[in-house]
Amino acid sequence: MNELLHILTSLTLGLATGINGPIAGLAAVALARLDLGFDFDDSALPWLESPAIALLLFGWVVVAYLSAVHRRGQGAGARAADGPARTVQLAASVVLAALLAVAETNSLVALPFAASAALFGALGFGDFFARAARRAERSARTLVVLTRDLCALAAVAAAAFVAPLGAALALLSPVLWWRAKGRADERPAGLRILR
């Protein structure tokens, strides 16, 4: 039952953030539900004790957000070409969810994280900061939106550590999904609901 709650919460957080697939949720839930970085005495996943894994999980959330913002500014052709990369990202998330559910102890579980983080790091960072600076020069409102997005991202990470809130988000997933669709035209994409 716990594993089911983990996956439901991860999918809900992924929908709520407006980022492709369940990536942000999987990372946040892995951090929260596996006590990553805090207490491993009762953990069935000893390889998670590595600080590098914690940094990788957190980095993946940030990279997923930046890549979503980056793709929003591209044309339709560029977004269509990004389809295969999204497929790789989603497949890595599904594999990770399955391995977490069966409490796999093999350190190879981290490989989907590493591959996807490297791929979306290249896609997402690119000229993100240069584009953000140009947008800030044209419009102060854009800078405000970016700041709110980053604050909301921090709020998601903090909320993931509160188990009752995770269960509530799972129950509210249809509403969150509907609200995310209603704000799909906002740019940058960001965390459309939570801000």
Can you spell out the DSSP letters for 67-92? HHHHHHTS-HHHHHHTHHHHHHHHHH
Instruction: Provide the pLDDT for residue 81.
Output: 45
Per-residue pLDDT tens digits for 1-46: 454 555 555 554 444 444 444 455 455 555 544 544 444 455 555 5
pLDDT score for 188:
43
User: Is residue 192 assigned to a domain?
Assistant: no
* Number of domains forming the structure of the chain: 1
Angle at 56 between CA 188 and CA 135, to 5 degrees: 20
Residue 95 lies in a domain: yes
Name the residue range of residue 117's domain: 2-182
- Which ranges constitute the DSSP H helices of the chain? 2-17, 23-33, 51-72, 76-81, 83-101, 110-125, 128-138, 140-159, 163-171, 173-182
Residue 187 lies in a domain: no
State the DSSP code for 187.
Answer: S
Q: Is residue 39 part of a domain?
A: yes
pLDDT of residue 1: 45
Residue 189 included in any domain: no
Flag whether 148 is in a domain.
yes
Residue 193 falls inside a structural domain: no
pLDDT at 172: 61
CA 146/CA 148 separation, integer angstroms: 5
pLDDT for position 21:
44
Q: Which amino acid is at 194?
A: L
Instruction: Read off φ and ψ for residue 90, nearest 5 degrees.
Output: -65, -40
State which residues of the chain have pLDDT below 50: 1, 3, 12-22, 25, 32-33, 35-40, 76-78, 80-81, 97-98, 100-105, 107, 121, 124, 126-127, 187-195
- 190 inside domain: no
pLDDT of 162: 55
pLDDT the model gives residue 53 = 55
Using N-to-C axis directions, what is the helix angle for 83-101 and 110-125, rounded to 10°? 150
Give dist(CA 109, CA 124) in Å, integer. 23
Give phi and psi for 185, each to the nearest 5: -90, 0
